[in-house]
Amino acid sequence: MTVHRQPGTVITDRTFVVPLDHSRPEGERIELYAREVVAAGRERDRLPWLLYLEGGPGGRSPRPLGRDGWLVRALDDYRVLLLDQRGTGRSTPATRQTLPARGDAAAQAEYLSHFRADSIVRDCESVRRELLGEDGRWSVLGQSFGGFCAVTYLSFAPEGLREVFITGGLPGLRVTADDVYRAAYPRMERKNAGHYARYPEDVEAVRSIVRHLHDHEVFLPNGGRLTPEAFQALGLMLGFATSSHALHYLIEDALVPTSTGIELSDSFLSQAATRLSFVANPLFAVLHEPIYGQRSVDSGPTGWAADRIRAEFPQFNAGAALAGDSPVLFTGETIHPWMFTTDPALAPLREAAELLAQREQWPDLYDPRRLADNEVPVAAAVYHDDMYVDTAHSLATARAIRGLRTWVTDEYEHDGLRVSDGRVLDRLVRLARGDL
């Protein structure tokens, strides 16, 4: 094991080997990487463990720079394990570079079918037993999709849990992918309204950019195509604390005069390429809708739900907005099949993604009856009008999990855990312990 020291912390690299398919423990095995973080001077203390599960799907764990962010609070009480979930970070990777070694698109899709919350939770249980022993229990902190995983954990293996903290990640227990996006588009529209109210000059700026994209074929520095629909996808930014401001700064000088006419600036194109590419997180795109599949809720495929449901909300049609005088609306956390042609990082995964979109009979991820009998202390931060996770779905789930305590707040957006310097986590710890 490699040990490093950073300001206020001691960090230990750990690796674990787990089955690809936990129903076939004798089969192929993959590697998981995790970073153990403990407060400097407390390395030898018998501290309880806190497992952190990142959002996504497909997000690697945070890379700490000493005792920063929510670790400021966590390291008061815990020894923290930052897990790179399967396929991410330093765990056995699943990307356009590695997946072709699996074989054809069907083989790749079959492999990726083992990268949902059910497999992640079974990974966590394997790691828990190795670190704490069969009877050891640990706490879990789940952010966004990590919260989805935490609810799966409560459904599958609550005996391994001491307490659970969830931030912006209470999933609907009995909702389909269609339900998720039918609720999501109105939230996206509200985020657009808030942005344009804050920066009214952006209405015409965005219309001018989209008009330019409609009339010209534009390529990003990474070789991707910037279509009007791809530009609208920059709305993924709008659900975080300062993201409306960041979007405004991105577009304020997007168009520049040149000797041949108006063009999109190199600066804008460079930033847009970074924002739009899934090169650092392809699993986010490939698995984004399969994470909602449950055979007992809907045995059919997720079938590009966000793309299909978008047709029910014509106000997001950029061409129609340009033909009239309406603002062009940005979209949000929606994945569309055209992304697998415009983004070079996703293009090699297009066929596998299509097979996953059409896959049926996804195993269930949540057990409502077991959750109704829950005995693990659970506290959840539910962000008012969260852009990425529907508040109504979250509150229904909160009512369905016995003993769960919620903190509903509009003080923070979806990134509250990251930007609050430990205040969000502190409140959840106190809620779970009955101190509030």
Contact 416, 204 (CB under 8 A): no
End-to-end CA distance of the chain: 40
Q: Which residue among 390, 394, 414, 420 is the active-site one? A: 414
Name residue 141's beta-bridge partners.
52, 165
Q: Which of 93, 82, 86, 83 is nearest to 117 (CA)?
A: 86
Q: Which of 21, 84, 386, 390 is catalytic?
A: 386
The catalytically annotated residue of 61, 144, 277, 420 is 144
144 classed as catalytic:
yes
Amino acid 314 reads: P
In angstroms, rounded to a whole number, what is the distance separating the alpha carbons of residues 114 and 112? 5
As a 3-state breakdown, the chain gives helix, strand, coil percent values, each rounded to 5, of 40, 15, 40
- Separation CA 189–CA 171 (nearest Å): 21
What angle (nearest 5°) sits at the alpha carbon of residue 132, between those of residues 129 and 137? 90
| 119 catalytically annotated | no
Decide: 136 and 128 in contact? Cβ < 8 Å: yes
d(CA 268, CA 250): 6
What is the 8-class DSSP label of residue 27?
Answer: S
386 labelled catalytic: yes
Q: Are the C-beta atoms of residues 412 and 420 closer than 8 Å to each other?
A: yes
* Full DSSP string of 229-293: HHHHGGGGGGGSTTHHHHHHHHHTT-EEEETTEEEE-HHHHHHHHHHH--TT-HHHHHSTTGGG-
CB-CB contact of 313 with 187 (8 Å): no
**What is the DSSP secondary structure assignment for residue 326, as one 8-state letter?**
P
Q: Which residues contact 331 (CB under 8 A, 6 or more apart)?
A: 188, 229, 232, 233, 235, 236, 310, 316
What CA–CA distance (Å, rounded) separates 376 from 163?
6
Active-site residue numbers?
144, 386, 414
